[in-house]
Amino acid sequence: METRDVTIEVLRYRPEQDSEPFFQSYTVPCEEHWVVLDALNYIKDELDRTLSYRWSCHMFVCGSCGMVINGEPMLSCKKFVRDFGDKIRVEPLSNFPIERDLVIVQDDFMEKLSSVKPYLIPKEERSIESGEYLQTPAQLKTYKQYTMCINCLCCYAACPQYGLDDKFIGPAALALAHRYNADSRDVGRSAREDVVASHEGIWECSFVGACSLVCPKDVEPAGAIQQTKFTSAIDYITGMVSGGGKK
């Protein structure tokens, strides 16, 4: 098989040895059909066993392999080497602490994810015998886009607001809250409101829109956040008019 030599510059950081990250270059004979992840796997298997990064499915659905490639956060299994020149620079996702090499620490995100109560809160429990909730294709469509998030964290790496203040709940978690709020089977919006509409929630977002641009799954978190702002504002106003029902 024909190959082309590509220089892969990887940001390395080995906590037991290095005081700060540095770039290391590898020359990789890349095949035409390779994605950037294949090049990393080549490095790992043939050149340097000490390079660490996360990956699993190789079909952009497990969300493990988000990295910053030539300055943009993306999935390394979805970006083809052939679309780049002779040099590709690979860094860990920005805005997160680096654990080691391309591996970031994502505890913070995991906490935020659970903080928005990302599960169906139905009006009342339904017995299995009574079968499924009815939901038309149109009702499904309303929230479907926001179910597509694979938690790859590319959006957090692109969001300057999160970079400046990591208390911000951030795009993917807020989009997920919106996913349940917009589900015809769910009545949990007020239960999620505390976190979602808090200072660290939607109002922290300044609508830079970077999250939506980098999202490999077209989730449109920025849109979800703006829509949530809209409903929250309406809630607030109707709350005031009806005499402070909600806070």
Shortest separation between residue 31's beta carbon and ligand SF4, angstroms: 27
Alpha helices in the chain (DSSP H): 36-42, 107-115, 137-144, 154-158, 160-164, 171-181, 189-196, 210-214, 221-241
| Binding-site member from 35, 40, 81, 215 for ligand SF4 (CB under 6 A) | 215
Q: Which positions from 63 through 92 interact with another protein, judged by CB under 8 A?
A: 63-64, 71, 78, 80
Q: What is the DSSP string of 21-45?
A: -EEEEEEEEEETT-BHHHHHHHIII
For residue 169, give Cα distances in angstroms to 21, 182, 195: 27, 19, 8
Q: Which positions from 186 through 205 interact with another protein, judged by CB under 8 A?
A: 186
| Binding-site member from 26, 183, 221, 228 for ligand SF4 (CB under 6 A) | 221
Is residue 171 involved in binding ligand SF4 (CB under 6 A)?
Answer: yes
Let me know: does 132 contact 140? Beta carbons within 8 Å: no
24 binds, among ligand SF4, another protein, none (CB under 5 to 8 A by kind): none
Instruction: For ligand SF4, give the closer residue by CB, 186 or 220.
Output: 220
Is residue 150 involved in binding ligand SF4 (CB under 6 A)?
Answer: yes
92 phi and psi angles, rounded to 5 deg? -70, 160
Query: CA–CA separation, 7 vs 50, rounded Å?
Result: 18
Shortest separation between residue 244's beta carbon and another protein, angstroms: 27
| Binding-site member from 39, 102, 154, 177 for ligand SF4 (CB under 6 A) | 154
Instruction: For another protein, give the closer residue by CB, 21 or 198.
Output: 21
153 binds, among another protein, ligand SF4, none (CB under 5 to 8 A by kind): ligand SF4
3-6 own/partner pairs: CB under 8 Å, 24+ apart: 3/29, 3/30, 3/31, 4/29, 4/30, 4/32, 4/81, 4/86, 5/29, 5/30, 5/86, 6/30, 6/39, 6/81, 6/84, 6/86, 6/87, 6/88
Q: Which positions from 123 through 162 interact with another protein, judged by CB under 8 A?
A: 126, 128, 131-144, 147-148, 150-151, 158, 160
Which two structure tokens, joined as six digits, stand for 98? 């680096």
Q: Which positions from 182 through 211 interact with ligand SF4, judged by CB under 6 A?
A: 205-211
Is residue 29 involved in binding another protein (CB under 8 A)?
Answer: no
Shortest separation between residue 206's beta carbon and another protein, angstroms: 8
Let me know: does 189 contact 138? Beta carbons within 8 Å: no
Instruction: For ligand SF4, give the closer residue by CB, 41 or 151.
Output: 151
Q: Which residues bind ligand SF4 (CB under 6 A)?
A: 149-155, 158-159, 161, 171-172, 175, 205-211, 214-215, 217, 219, 221-222, 225
